[in-house]
Structure 1
Amino acid sequence: MSKPDFDDPDLPLADLFAAWPLAAAAFLARGMLCPGCPIAPFHAITDACLEYDLDEDEFRADLEMLLSEG
C-alpha cells in the first residue's frame, strides 16, 4: 500500500500519523495535542495550524524536514 500524498491539503491528521509516525514529534514539540486526538480523523494540517495559531508554511517546512531525516 502506498503512502498518502503529504501535500494533499485535505489529508486527515490520523492518516498522516499512520503513514509517518515521526510526524507526531513535530506536533508535540509545539504543544499540539493532535496525535491521539479524537478529531484527528477530521482535521488536516491547515485546521491544526489555525487552531494553534501557527504559520502553516513554516510548520509544513519543519514537518517535511523532520520526515526527510527520519
Structure 2
Amino acid sequence: MSKPDFDDPDLPLADLFAAWPEAAAMFLAHRMLCPGCPIAPFHAITDACLEYDLDEDEFRAELARDVW
C-alpha cells in the first residue's frame, strides 16, 4: 500500500499520522493536540493551522524538513 500524498490539502490528519507517525512529534512540539484528537479524521493540516493560528506554509515546510 502506498502512502498518501502529503501535499493533498484534504489529507485527513488521522491518515497523515497513520502514514507518518513521527509527524505527531512536530504537532505536539507546537502544542497542537491533533494526535489522538477525535476530530483528526475530519481535519487537514490547513484546519489545524487555522485552529492554532499557525502559518500553514511555515508549518508544512517545518514538517517536510524535520519529518521527511
- Shift in Å, 1:49: 0.1
Q: Which residue of 2 aligns with 1:52?
A: 52
- Shift in Å, 1:67: 1.6
User: Normalized against structure 2, the TM-score is what?
Assistant: 0.98
Paired-residue identity, %: 85
Letter in 2 for 1:48: A
| Deviation sequence 1:17-58 (CA, Å, 0-9, x none) | 000001001100010000000000000000000000000000
Q: How many residue pairs are counted as aligned between the two chains? A: 68
Q: Within 5 Å, give how 1:1-70 maps onto structure 2.
A: 1-68=1-68
Aligned mates of 1:65, 1:8 — CA distance in 2: 17
User: Normalized against structure 1, the TM-score is what?
Assistant: 0.95
Displacement over 3 Å in runs of 4+: none
Aligned mates of 2:64, 2:57 — CA distance in 1: 10
- Shift in Å, 1:13: 0.1
Aligned mates of 2:67, 2:32 — CA distance in 1: 17
